[in-house]
Amino acid sequence: DAGVIQSPRHEVTEMGQEVTLRCKPISGHNSLFWYRQTMMRGLELLIYFNNNVPIDDSGMPEDRFSAKMPNASFSTLKIQPSEPRDSAVYFCASRLQGIEAFFGQGTRLTVV
Amino acid sequence: TQLLEQSPQFLSIQEGENLTVYCNSSSVFSSLQWYRQEPGEGPVLLVTVVTGGEVKKLKRLTFQFGDARKDSSLHITAAQPGDTGLYLCAILYNQGGKLIFGQGTELSVKP
């Protein structure tokens, strides 16, 4: 298996633009997590899904952020409109219930 | 307020030295995980501890879960430059569904 695949690896966008981050979890995993990592705040959980259903989105910063998981093999995290303070590395991770979480390589987002 | 407090935040040592990093909480957990993250990569699981007082060894790394299952430590013997990275502790919260991380300890081992 290729592991968790995230795209793009790097994204530079202008303030106000829409940004869409993509994630393909490991086949057969039933939980998917979106995290944001910054020096100041560390690795923050934004939202997680079980069996494609959003379970807890309490970490989503505000309404500008949204996440979807239309099927077991794909998820998106969208920021609209983007702001400079959204600049961070965004990680997707997947897990089979009760087992370790596997992370993608992350998307480094820079909003200028 | 962080659910998991890690200390120290930063640690810079010479090759061959020993070190211990800590993960503390006021809550009791059924299990705790340690991950290591290298620059440009996502975290990778090192170990899961489940039983209070449990000790697990992974080569030069020794992990311990506190008797009360509120804290954990990671001890590295004879550190090497390859040990450099961010060490994160994590717990499964909310009936095992939600994976929450501490802020991490940034370790730098100089040759």
Q: So what's the pLDDT on residue B1?
A: 58
Please list every residue in chain B whose beta carbon sits closer than 8 Å to the beta carbon of residue A45. 98-101
Q: So what's the pLDDT on residue A61?
A: 87
**pLDDT tens-digit series, residues B21-58:** 999 998 888 889 999 999 999 999 999 998 889 999 99
Q: So what's the pLDDT on residue B22?
A: 97
A40-51 average pLDDT score: 93
Instruction: List beta partners, residue B107.
Output: B11, B85
Long-range CB contacts (< 8 A, 24+ apart) of A38-45? A38/A88, A38/A89, A42/B101, A42/B102, A42/B103, A42/B104, A43/A91, A43/B43, A43/B88, A43/B101, A43/B104, A45/B98, A45/B99, A45/B100, A45/B101
Residue B62 clears pLDDT 80, i.e. is over it: yes
Sheet holding B19-24, edge to edge: B5-7, B19-24, B71-76, B61-65, B55-58
Write down the mean pLDDT value for chain B.
92
Q: So what's the pLDDT on residue B94?
A: 65
Task: With CB atoms and an 8 Å threshold, state whether A106 touches B41.
Answer: yes
Q: So what's the pLDDT on residue B96?
A: 59
Residue B95 clears pLDDT 70, i.e. is over it: no
A21-35 average pLDDT score: 96
Nearest to A9 by CA among A111, A112, A104: A104
Q: So what's the pLDDT on residue B10?
A: 96
Task: With CB atoms and an 8 Å threshold, state whether B104 touches A43.
Answer: yes
Q: Are B101 and A42 in contact (CB under 8 A)?
A: yes
A-B C-beta contacts closer than 8 Å:
49
B73-99 average pLDDT score: 90
Task: With CB atoms and an 8 Å threshold, state whether A56 touches B103.
Answer: no
- Closest-CA distance of chain B to residue A103, Å: 5
Q: Are B78 and B59 in contact (CB under 8 A)?
A: no
Task: With CB atoms and an 8 Å threshold, state whether A95 touches B99.
Answer: yes
Task: With CB atoms and an 8 Å threshold, state whether B101 touches A95.
Answer: no
